[in-house]
Amino acid sequence: MSLFKFGNLEAEIDFTDVDFLENLEEAKRLMQEEAKQIPKTGKTADIIRAQCQCYFNFFDRVIGEGAHEAMFLGKTSLNSCLDATDALLAFENSEAVKMNERYSEYTVKQHGNRQRKRNYNKQQGKKTNQNFNAVRNR
């Protein structure tokens, strides 16, 4: 679990928590549905307000009710909404990198077949089983 910060919002987010991930996926799905309802024509301010409302609803669903108020400080700016989305995506990616690094410690390493290993060791100038060869050659 790590701390996500944007605007005045600080929230603990755990991308390994199944409940959080399900909530995130549902919020993304609902946001796509809401985006289809945004008017294509009309006053620019009304279109941007509707777009921002989609983002506000998304962040409220993912982080918690009222999250958008702390994040955007009462502003309705599409640019701020996009910045917040980029920040959340960057945070998610950095958490994924951390998790992959941690998880890689526990994975089984593949060594390949013996012939490849011998060729690799020969190319690297490594000598293996010197004691075995010395005993065998006596």
Output the tens digit of pLDDT for each of the chain's 138 residues: 789 999 999 999 998 899 999 999 999 999 999 999 999 999 999 999 999 999 999 999 999 999 999 999 989 999 999 999 999 999 999 999 998 888 877 776 666 677 777 787 888 777 666 555 555 555
Q: CA–CA separation, 112 vs 66, rounded Å?
A: 54
Give the pLDDT of residue 109: 64
pLDDT of residue 50: 95
Cβ atoms of residues 67 and 13 within 8 Å: no
Confidence at residue 128, expressed as pLDDT on a 0 to 100 scale? 61
Q: What is the pLDDT of residue 108?
A: 66
What angle (nearest 5°) sits at the alpha carbon of residue 49, between those of residues 81 and 28? Answer: 50
pLDDT for the residue numbered 133: 54
Q: Per the structure, how many domains does the chain have?
A: 1
Q: What's the pTM value of the predicted model, to 2 decimals?
A: 0.72
Q: Which residues span the domain enclosing 67?
A: 2-136
pLDDT at 106: 75
Using a 10 angstrom Cβ sphere, with 0-12 exposed, 13-18 middle and 19 or more buried, the burial of residue 23 is: middle
Q: What single-letter amino acid sits at 28? A: K
